[in-house]
Each structure stands twice: as structure tokens, then as C-alpha cells.
Amino acid sequence: MKPTSKHVVTFLWTILWLSVPLHSPSSAQSSRGADIAVVVNADTPVTDLSLAEVRKVLLGERQYWSSKLPVVLLIRAPVARERDVVLRVIYQMSEAQFKQYWVAKIFRAEAASPPKIVYSNDMQYELLTALPGAIAFVDSRNVRPGAKVLRVDGHMPGDRDYPLR
Amino acid sequence: MRFPLCDGSLGIRGSRPKLGQGKERMHRPPLLLAILILSAGAAWGQSPPPADQSEQIKVLLERIQQLEKRLAVVETRLPAPSTPVLYAANAPAPPKPGPSEPSASAVQAHQHESPETQTTVGQMETHYPSLQIRGFGDVDFSATDQKRTNSGFNLGQLDLHLASALSQKISYFGEITFNARPTQYTIEVERSIIRYDYNDYFKLSFGRFHTPIGYWNTAFHHGAWLQTTIDRPFIVKVGGTFTPVHFVGLLAEGNIPSGGLGLSYNLGVGNGRGEVISRPGDAGDINNNRAWVAKLYARPPKLYGLELGASFYQDKIAFPSPTNQNFREWIASAYLVWTKGSPEFLSEFDNVHHRNILTNQITNNDAFYVQFAYRLPWLERSLKPYYRFEYAHMPLSEQVFLHQDQVESIVGLRYDISSYAAFKAEYRNTKNQPGVLGLLAEPTVNGLFFQTAFTF
């Protein structure tokens, strides 16, 4: 290896190793706020999911509630707090990583379409009501009476150990 | 030191290097590195400020939230409903009411859908067929000290990916690439798949696939933007022969109920390798023997990011005359990956076993790679240094492959300039050891490579 090439290698390795101790555990630090409820269409045959199962649904690894009922994912548009919590707690990804994940997922022919993006709570509820198999993430303060809210790890929003906040 | 004029992109005007200057062999690596850094900086400066957009979106969303709250207040002032609100039969009690929780009348109001609501729902419903097209492209620059090669730019694959839901349970996936050649472009149908979903445990596809051997071939394959590095490992090179990267036939796949193991499977039957062993039998099999592939992999939910798996592939290779030799081929592969960006760890091992049916001579070819990358916490986590080590061994008695042994180390840096475009810079050191074609190979090759890869 020529001396110049050795310097380039040394430079890149230095960047790599210097970064390790400086890295924080999570890019998006938790900000305390209302719990995020997992709300599904009333006909969806589930009442309780573990956090791992919620993750599997959101990652597109579970695409059917039952043989006849596909999952329809609804996710709020960027900068909504519900989206921030979903990305931080469930996906554990940054906004860019989330976008890349779904591009790659569709590219691998593992899913035909990405989650549907919703821009407001009203729109979210309209779609939850209209689309069988729909699942959405709603600020618990905005959950409407009649909505079917799932337990996550056996907890409801407001419980001390509820994981989505 | 004189720098060539740079217009902020990879296109360089003024003192552009001429073809043939590569014979000077790696004479200016610091200059090339500087060009990349300057180009990246200029392009970064020209990109729209994402912070401003985020602020605008945030303001708009806050206004929507405020309007929704006002609407809810107005709705609460409407007369009480005459019919009670029904909860879902198996739904738990609603959460504790918050300060902005609307009353039951709000729900009543929403039960009468306005034309706007119907429009929104109509727009968001999936219509069939619903074709989506996505493209991938890359532009590359390379300079190596290999004799008889030139430094310079080249266009990577232009890759169009098609996905279309034909019904709730039937989907089509297609992939077409345009490849630059010295005198023309070639067009290749990389994938053409129709898939029928029964449920999560059983999905059946027909067509041309990426063969589910190992990890890389199905996770990235075409589309350089998807992968961290500039190029693929030796075992899954475009046009390579070590493993059959494409497969024509049928494939069953799905999850396996396995609790905490998170198991999934792929099972395929198809034509296997064609007369040119880097290609599958697109237009028909070359013999009456079908190839089959089986893959089992696990994504344990408690170790989110981890995936490990093993796959097996079996085929009969038939060379045309004048050799007319036939071989049995067994490929065994295992991999372990950690796919989170901080860190990212990919490792894969393949063994390709050949048996000459006439002479019973057996050869074993081994190859593996280990790749480590780490997304740095600065600059919105856009920087990702990486390192990969590759090793491939083919014995001198091997009769199907014509490669030499190879050991390669690469070190590089990926910079995601936006969510959909990246710059990559890479140094490679490749050591070739004498094999069947070893006399023609140079023992060591050093190279610098640059790439901008994107999806659109």
C-alpha cells in the first residue's frame, strides 16, 4: 500500500473510532407527553398486542389480521407527535431511516405499498371508520368515544407502564 | 496545487481528466478526495433547507390541531344525540378523558359523513390496479492502479421498479434495468413476479426472482442507494457466477408461528442456471432437472435488528458441447446481520459444492464477507463510515468457475445528502492469488471509487 493510501485509510478509521464513545443511545430523546393510543377499525379481531407485535405490524412483517382482513397502516405526517413516538419507540428509526426502510421494503417485493399518510385526527378517524383492518396511532387526549383502543403489553393509555409515550 | 473547476456536482469541467490518464495509476488520491468533499459541500449548500420546511409543516399542523379543537368545541354545543354511542363489542374502556376530549355528540356528528369525508376516504382507498414506479440510479468515478484500465466516470444501472396491487391479495412486482455498455445500452428484466397472498403464513409467487440465497441478494441487489457500500460483495456481483442471483420459477414464502423466534421461510422450485451460468433459464430450462432453494431465517422480536438465517440450493449444471460436462451443484449459505444503522453488521458465508457427474470429482468453493458500518451521531446522522472484508477461495481443480482466489478490504464513507440521495467514497485493496486464470491477474490492486446514488 502506498503512503498516501495509508493516510486515507488512517483518516477514515480515525473518524469511525472517534464516533463510538460520542454516540448517544437514541437519536430522538424521549419527550414526556400524552400517551399514544393504538386504535383500530371496530371490526379488527384483536384487543391486545405486545409491543413486539405492534412493531411487527408496523414493519410490515404481519400484513393480515386474519386470512380475509389485511392490515391497513395509517401514520401521521411528519412532525406530528404521534409520528415521532411511533418512529422513536416502535421503529427506532430517524425520519430518513423510516423512509428508506419502506422504499427498501417495497423494492424487495415484501409489501405492495407503504403506510397511508394522514394529516389530521379527523382524517385519521374517517379512515379508521371506513377502512376495514385499519390501525392508527392517536394522542390519547384525542381518542373519541367509541374508538377501539388496543392494550399494548396489557396496558391501556394512561397506565403507568404503558410503553407508547 | 491546481484543482479542476467544479460546478457543484459530480460533473467536472475545465481540466477534466482525459481517458487514458488512469495509466498514471493512483497518482492523485488526495485530489480526488478533495473533489468529493467539495462537491458534497457545494451540493449540500444548494439543497433546500429542510429545517425551514419542517417549521412550515409544523406551523400548518399546529393550525390544523387548533382548528380541530375549535371544531370539537363547536360540536359540543350542538344538541345532544338522540341515540346512544355504541362502543365496539370487545373494546376496552376508552382512556381517561383529557382536557380536549370531545363529547359524544362530536362522534354523532362524525357519523354523518360529509361529501369532503367521502372524498378523502375515496382518495385514500386502494384502487386496483395501483401502479407505483420507483427508480434507482448512480453515477460513479473510479481510479485504480490496475494495468490496462482507465480512470473515469461511468453510469451505473438505471433501475426502474414497478409495484402494483391487482386486488387485495394479488400483487405484481417488476424490475427493469438499463445498463451502459461500450456501444449501446442493454435492457434487462431483473424481476417479474406475480404474488398471491393467502395470509402471513403462505404467499405464492411465480416469475423471475432474486434467488433467496443468503442475505444480500434479496435485501439489496439492484439499486446502489439501498446498500451502504458502492459495490456488492464478490459472491453476489452483477453478472457474477459464484451464486445464481436470479431464479425463474415459483416461490412460496411466509412466517412460521414460532413465538419469540420470529421464523420465516422461502421455498422455491425453478429452472436453475442456464447455459451461461450467470443467467437463469429465462426462456426455458436447459435440462429436465429443476433447481430448488430453501431458506429459513429468524428475526427475534426481542432482538429487534437481528436477523440470522440459512439457505440451501440444489441444481444440475449442464455445459453445452464441446465439453458436454454435467455437474451437481449444492450451495449452502448462512448469515448473521444486525441491520440498525448504529451499528450495522452484515456477515454471510457461502459454500458452493460441485460434483462432476461423469468423474465424481468434487470441489468446494468458499466465500464470505463481513461488513461493519456505523451511523455517526452528527449532521443529522447522515455520515456512515464502513469497512468490509471479503474472502473467496476456489480450488485449482474447480471446473465450473474460472476465477482466482481473492481477498479484498474496503473502507469508505457514505454521506446521505437527503433522504433519497447519497455520496459514497471508498478505498479498495484487492489481493488476487493464482487460480485457473491466475497468470493473467495482478497480485494486488488498489483503487479509489466515488459514487452518488439516489432513488426517485
Give me the domain span that covers residue A43: 36-152
What is the distance between the alpha carbons of residues B393 and B404, in angstroms, rounded to a whole number?
A: 7
How many CB pairs (< 8 A) connect A and B?
A: 222
Contact B54/A78, CB-based, under 8 Å? yes
Domain-embedded: residue A67:
yes
CATH number for the domain spanning A66: value is 3.40.190.10
Helix (H, G, I), strand (E, B) or coil at B365: strand
Which value, to the nearest 10 degrees, does the dihedral of the CA atoms of residues A6, A12, A13, A17 take? 160
What is the distance between the alpha carbons of residues B336 and B344, in angstroms, rounded to a whole number?
A: 11
Mean pLDDT over B57-66 rounds to 74
Q: Residue A153 has what pLDDT? A: 94
Q: For chain B, which domains are there?
A: 52-124 (no CATH), 200-455 (2.40.160.10)
Domain-embedded: residue A97:
yes
Contact criterion met (CB below 8 Å) for B429 and B448 = no
Domain-embedded: residue A163:
no
Contact criterion met (CB below 8 Å) for B398 and B412 = no
* pLDDT tens-digit series, residues B82-94: 333 333 333 444 4
Find residues 308-337 of chain B whose CB sits inside 8 Å of chain A. none
Side chain identity, residue B216: W
pTM of this structure: 0.75
Please report which confidence band the pLDDT of residue B47 belongs to, taking 50, 70 and 90 as the band edges.
Answer: very low
Q: Residue B80 has what pLDDT? A: 41
Contact criterion met (CB below 8 Å) for A76 and A137 = yes
* Distances from the Cα of B119 to the Cα of A126, B60, B109, B124, B168, angstroms: 11, 21, 17, 9, 21
Please, what's the b/e burial string for B206-241 (b: 16 or more CB within 10 A of its CB; e: otherwise)?
A: ebbbbbbbbbbbbbbbbbbbbbbbbbbbbbbebebb
Which value, to the nearest 10 degrees, does the dihedral of the CA atoms of residues B123, B127, B129, B132 take? 30
Q: Residue B266 has what pLDDT? A: 97
Q: Residue B19 has what pLDDT? A: 38
| The C-alpha cell that represents B220 in the structure block | 439489496
End-to-end alpha carbon distance in chain A: 52
B73 touches chain A (CB under 8 A): no
B230 touches chain A (CB under 8 A): no
Domain-embedded: residue A11:
no
Side chain identity, residue B383: L
- Of B455, B406, B428, B451, nearest to B156 (Cα)? B451
Helix (H, G, I), strand (E, B) or coil at B107: helix
Considering its fold, how many domains does chain A have in total?
Answer: 1
Smallest CA–CA distance, residue B144 to chain A, in Å, is 12
Q: Assess: ipTM above 0.85.
A: no
Contact criterion met (CB below 8 Å) for B451 and B424 = yes
Domain-embedded: residue A99:
yes
Domain-embedded: residue A28:
no
Contact B199/A67, CB-based, under 8 Å? yes
Q: Residue A32 has what pLDDT? A: 55
Mean pLDDT over A100-125 rounds to 91
| Bridge partners for B202 per DSSP | B199
For residue A12, pLDDT over 90 is answered with no
B165 touches chain A (CB under 8 A): yes
* pLDDT tens-digit series, residues B125-147: 778 898 999 999 999 999 999 88
Which residue in chain A is spatially nearest to B33 when comparing CA positions?
A8
Mean pLDDT over B307-314 rounds to 97
Mean pLDDT over B63-67 rounds to 75
For residue B340, pLDDT over 50 is answered with yes
Contact A125/B110, CB-based, under 8 Å? yes
Strand order in the sheet with A148-152: A48-49, A148-152, A36-40, A134-139, A72-76, A116-118
For residue B272, pLDDT over 50 is answered with yes
Please report which confidence band the pLDDT of residue B274 belongs to, taking 50, 70 and 90 as the band edges.
Answer: confident
Q: Among the listed ranges A18-27, B71-80, B439-448, which one has the minimum average pLDDT value?
A: A18-27
* pLDDT tens-digit series, residues B388-438: 999 999 988 888 887 678 999 999 999 999 999 999 999 999 998 765 554
Q: Residue B286 has what pLDDT? A: 82
Contact criterion met (CB below 8 Å) for B344 and B338 = yes
Contact B195/A62, CB-based, under 8 Å? no
Radius of gyration, alpha carbons of chain A: 20
> Which of A11, A15, A16 is the best residue to mutate to test the B interface, defined by the most B CB atoms within 10 Å of its own CB?
A16
B29 touches chain A (CB under 8 A): yes
| The C-alpha cell that represents A153 in the structure block | 403489553
Which of A37, A79, A144 is nearest residue B102 as measured by Cβ atoms? A144
Q: Which residues of B touch A134 (CB under 8 A)?
A: none
Q: Hey, CA dihedral for B422, B423, B425, B431, is it positive or negative?
A: positive
Give the DSSP per-residue string, chain A. --HHHHHHHHHHHHHHHHHHHH--S-SS-------EEEEE-TT-S-SEE-HHHHHHHHTTS--EEETTEE-EEEEEPTT-HHHHHIIIIII---HHHHHHHHHHHHHTTS-SS-PEEE-SHHHHHHHHHHSTTEEEEEEGGGPPTT-EEEEETTB-TTSTT-S--
Contact B377/A23, CB-based, under 8 Å? yes
Contact A20/B168, CB-based, under 8 Å? no
Smallest CA–CA distance, residue A140 to chain B, in Å, is 7
* pLDDT tens-digit series, residues B131-187: 999 999 999 999 999 888 899 999 999 999 999 999 989 999 999 999 998 899 999
* pLDDT tens-digit series, residues A57-87: 999 999 999 999 999 999 999 989 999 999 9
Smallest CA–CA distance, residue A32 to chain B, in Å, is 15
Radius of gyration, alpha carbons of chain B: 27
Q: Which residues are CB-neighbours of B353 under 8 A, at least 6 positions away?
A: B329, B330, B331, B332, B362, B363, B364, B365
* Distances from the Cα of B300 to the Cα of A61, A93, B259, B419, B452, angstroms: 12, 18, 9, 28, 34
Domain-embedded: residue A132:
yes
Contact A156/B95, CB-based, under 8 Å? yes
Which of B86, B98, B113 is nearest residue A141 as measured by Cβ atoms? B98
For residue B99, pLDDT over 70 is answered with no
Which residue in chain A is spatially nearest to B444 when comparing CA positions?
A1
Helix (H, G, I), strand (E, B) or coil at B332: strand
Domain-embedded: residue A7:
no
Q: Residue A9 has what pLDDT? A: 59
Give the DSSP per-residue string, B153-168. EEE--EEEEEEEE-SS
Q: Which residues of A touch B125 (CB under 8 A)?
A: 130-131
Contact A103/B455, CB-based, under 8 Å? yes
What is the distance between the alpha carbons of residues B334 and B338, in angstroms, rounded to a whole number?
A: 14
Q: Residue B334 has what pLDDT? A: 98
What is the distance between the alpha carbons of residues B177 and B245, in angstroms, rounded to a whole number?
A: 15
What is the distance between the alpha carbons of residues A117 and A74, in angstroms, rounded to a whole number?
A: 6
What average pLDDT is seen over chain B?
80
Contact A63/B125, CB-based, under 8 Å? no
Q: Residue B81 has what pLDDT? A: 38
Q: From the CB of residue B67, how many other CB atoms can be counted at a distance below 10 Å?
A: 12
